[in-house]
Each structure stands twice: as C-alpha cells, then as structure tokens.
Amino acid sequence: MDIVTYEIIRSSLFAIAREMKIAMMRTAGSPLMHASGDSSAAIFDADMQLVAQGNDIPTMLGSAVISTRVSVEAVGRENLRPGDVIVSNDAYVGGGNHQPDVQFTRPVFVGDEIVAFVMTRGHWTDIGGQSPGSYTVTTWDVFAEGIRIPPVLLYRNDEPVRDVLELLTRNSRNAHELLLDIQAQYAGTFVGERRLADLVEKYGMADLRTAMAQSLDHSEKLIRAAIGKIPNGTYEAEEYLDPIEAHGWKQERPLLKVKITVTDDHMTFDYTGTGAQVRGGINCPLSVTCNSTWFTVKAITDISIPINQGCYRPVTIVAPPGSVLNCQYPASVVSGNTETSPRVIDLLLKALAPAIPERIVGQSNCASCAGIFSGRDTHAGRVAQTGQEFVTMHDVHAGGMGARAKKDVVSGIRVYVGNAGSQSVEMIERTSPLTIEEWCLVNDTGGAGRYRGGLTSRRTYRVDYDEATFTVSGERGRTAPEGHFGGLPGTPFLCMVQKTDGSVVKVPAKGGQTVVHRGERVVVQPAGSGGYGDPLERDRERVLADIADGYISADAARRLYRVEPDAHDAHAAPVDAPLAVTSE
C-alpha cells in the first residue's frame, strides 16, 4: 500500500471515532454526556484490537481494550448479525472499568464478514444502587453500586430488544434521561458503521485491513523507540491511598507499590506488594490498572505517536489477584476508576522521576471529584420544562495539575485519565434546584517551586431543594499532592456544608451520603498540585506576576519564595485589594 493511501485511511479512522463522539453529544439527554462530554468512541479491527479512538476519556478507552474482546466473546462472534449492538458494564464478567460507564459494541459487516467493531461508552447518571447518582464509595460490594449488565444484545437488526431496554431504564432513577443517552450511544455506533462502510466502498476491504495492521505495527515501532531513550534500570515507589472515612468503617489505607523495570525497548510494571482489596469502592479492576499503566507509558514517551493497541505491546503488567489493583469479585470499584487510577499514575511518575526528570510533573489532584445532588424538584415551572420531578445533578470538579520541568501548568483542570468538563453555571441552574454562588480559582493552592503547581478551583452551591442527598468522591484528603525536586506540596481536598444556623460540617473525600436542606451551602474544592524545583530558584518577575494575577498571596511570596512585593512595583496589587479567594 502506498503511503498516501495508508495515511488517508488511518486518519479517516480517527476522524470517524471523533464523529461518533459528536453524534453522542448532540443527541444525549443528560448534561453529563451532552455538555460535559463524559463519553468515548473507538474503532477495533476484526480481531478486536484497538486501532483508533477519539480525543475522549482515557479511562474508558484503555479499559475498552479488554472489555471489547470480553463482550464479543461472551455473546459469541458467530451469533452476531448486522445491526446488532452488545451492551455491558460489568467489571467482572464484562471487563468494564466501573458500573456507571456502559459500553455499546457493534460489529461492522461487509456482506457476511465482520471487518471491524465500533464501540461507544458513556457515563450513565444513575444506574440504581444504594445511592442516587450511583457513585458512593461506602458500599459493601459491587451489587450496591448499581445494576450489573453482562454482555447481552440490546439491539437486534437495529431495533431495540424491548425487554432488555425496559430492564435497564426501570433500574434508573433518571429513566427519561437514560433512554435518550441509550439512543445517543446507539447513534454513535450507527454513525461509525456507516462511515466504515463508506471507507470500504472507496478503498476495499483488503486496503482497510492492511491499513489497520500497518497502523498497529507503526505505533509499536515508534513507542519502542521512545522507550529505548529511557535509561535501563529498576525504579520503585510506594504511597498510601486515602481511606473511606464513614462511621464504623475500618479507615484502611491500602498501600500502592510498584517496581518498574526498563530493558531496552520494553517496560515491566510489577505491582507486587500492593495492599489487599478492601471494603468500599476504591478498588481497581485489572482493566483500570492496565489503562493507568498504558496511559503513563504514552505520556512519558511521545504524545504525537498515533494511539492504538500497538502502543501497549512493549508493556508487561503484573498485578496480583486480590490486591486493590486487581480486585476480585465482589469488591466495589466505582471510585477505583476515577480516584485510585490517577493515584497510580502519580505513583508511576514518582518512581520514574530519577530516570526521566524532564518528562514527569508534580503530583496532581487525582480525582474526578464527582459531586452529586439528588432529590425532588418543587419548582413547577422547571419541572414543566425538563419533564423531571426527581432531579440528579452530577458534576465533576477541576483541581490542580502538577508543575512541569520547564514551565508552570494549567489551573482548574481534570487530569490524567479523566477528560470530562465541568458543567456550566447556566446549565446547572436551569435544570436543577441549585444556585452556583461561587466558582473560582483558589490562590496559594498550587505548590511552590521553580515552576508553580496549578491552582485548584472551588464551587459553592446554594441548595434550593427542600431536601436532597449530597455525595462526593474525592482524593488526597489525607495526603497532599507532593512536589518534585524541591517543589512544595499543594493543598489537600476540602468539602464542607455550611448550615443555615452558621455551623459548618466537613465532608471527607471518601465518606457516605450527606443530607442537605434548602438554604444550606455546599463547598467543593479538590486538591491542588505539587510544584517542581526549588521555590527560591523562581524568577522574581514570575512571583510578582503571580501576585498580580491572584495566583499567590503576598504572604506566600514572602514565606515561600523570599520575594518582598514592592508597593511601588507595577506588579504589586494594592494592599487593601483582594487578590483572590483564599483557601481555608
């Protein structure tokens, strides 16, 4: 195959995956999917190898390498027909990452032959379970996290299997929204199938197969060359996770431990010594641990390499069964996907820091920091507009990202395996009984360093429900994100409920449900991030610019950077001017 034809087909596959995601977002019902973009799409070859993906949610896409094969094999390749769509979410029999992320897998036929598979995965706002929003860590086992969906057919001949569809929607507190999201995910697979059929019509099946195979081999070759630049050796690190801080729980803090061996163009990640799985939803299925590992390899090598399963061939992963990084049935897993997973990435970067100091970053906030309000909406006008009397508002919160070796980093952002955005103030206030009174960056939350860590953000919600449940799933409430090479740590996670009588109740990063009432205020502030390098090596002009921008206080400039703001300096803010909302 000539290089021009190859590049056209390869690039087309990535474009198709992106179009699949757009089709989902334009037709979904839940704000989490259509506004925040908490969904993904990918294309697999006929042998179920990942060949192209959208710029979507890494934790959904890496784990799909395992779940797509498991889903097809469970139903039976020989049983599939054109127009079939498999649905699955189960972490144990479906290869899923956690129950709220539900995968649709569709075979793409040309005549009687399967030439590819397309996949969409979306976060369903509610799939049942013990807590509205299906996102609490205080669960005894996986059954409390929501409905388990083994790989089964949801569509036959492009028509929904009605009893399966009814079973899914009846197990959600948000059935109307969920039905629209299901149809949106189906639409994504439909678009993917049509576009692949167009490619085959234009270039033929043989060229499509050749381009897919060549793409996998090419990415493998490039990733091996990049790994070859890392010094051979063994690199180790360990850290402890935050515990579940609910009343009566053991407060267990599982150990995360890794030994990374680099041998020429191959890397082995051995998690032997990691702590045993625990009660509560902080455990990782193997698919999540694999994804965190693959993500890290891609991030520390060359981000320009086309991402597909070829990138993962030079990587060996050892994760002992029964550990918190390869949990066994029936362990809960919901937060393992969104909080433990990024902690694993920080652990790997910490281990590799001596080998590739220019490629790692300070530690980050490491959480989706999902905040979920759920209750009855008593505003008749809004109910008439939305059609929903029972409203669940599920949003993610942006924290700090660790400083880089040669520059400051982004503030108020999701990091690593999460790539969904926060919902707009207007969307939340229009669709739910909540008022956003504050949404800001918080100064002094990024760790000081030669390059400063990114700031976290803070949201303050005024509760307009008469009564609602509030659940948050955060990380780094006990252990602040560290800096590297002399960089200082950022601030830990903070959440609290301000009662109408003026009292304040702190909410732990991993606690149970909290009941909130009209007029109360809920403050959610993810962790900040670590700095990079000695703060005393930071340029004075940068420090003064940070003061002027409200990123750090004058007091922090004096204490941490040994810079005294000059009242006559053009960068210095007036003494009585608020620089930013400060952390507690």
Count of alpha carbons within 13 Å of 484, Cβ hemisphere only?
24
User: Looking at residues 205-231, what average pLDDT do you find?
Assistant: 98
Sequence-distant (≥ 6) Cβ neighbours of residue 201 within 8 angstroms: none
Return the SS3 of 88: strand
Query: Is the pLDDT score of 353 beyond 90?
Result: yes
Tokens coding 532: 């990079």
| 511-560 pLDDT tens trace | 889 999 999 999 999 999 999 999 999 999 999 999 999 999 999 999 99
Residue 276 identity (one-letter amino acid): A
Query: Is the pLDDT score of 495 beyond 50?
Result: yes
C-alpha to C-alpha distance for 184 and 104, rounded to whole angstroms: 11
Query: Is the pLDDT score of 578 beyond 50?
Result: no
Tokens coding 118: 């397309």
Tokens coding 337: 């996907």
- pLDDT at residue 485 in the model: 98
Query: Is the pLDDT score of 185 beyond 60?
Result: yes
The CB-based long-range contact list for 3-6 (8 Å cut-off, 24+ gap) reads: 5/203, 5/207, 5/211, 6/210, 6/211, 6/214, 6/215
Residue with tokens 């009846």: 170
Of all residues in the chain, the percent with pLDDT exceeding 70 is 97
Yes or no: say if 127 and 147 are a contact pair by the CB < 8 Å rule.
Answer: yes
C-alpha to C-alpha distance for 391 and 431, rounded to whole angstroms: 8
Q: Where are the domains of the chain?
A: 3-222, 361-584
| 48-91 pLDDT tens trace | 999 999 989 998 999 999 999 999 999 999 999 999 999 999 99
Cis bond leading into 330, ω under 30°? yes
| 115-155 pLDDT tens trace | 999 999 999 999 999 999 999 999 999 999 999 999 999 99
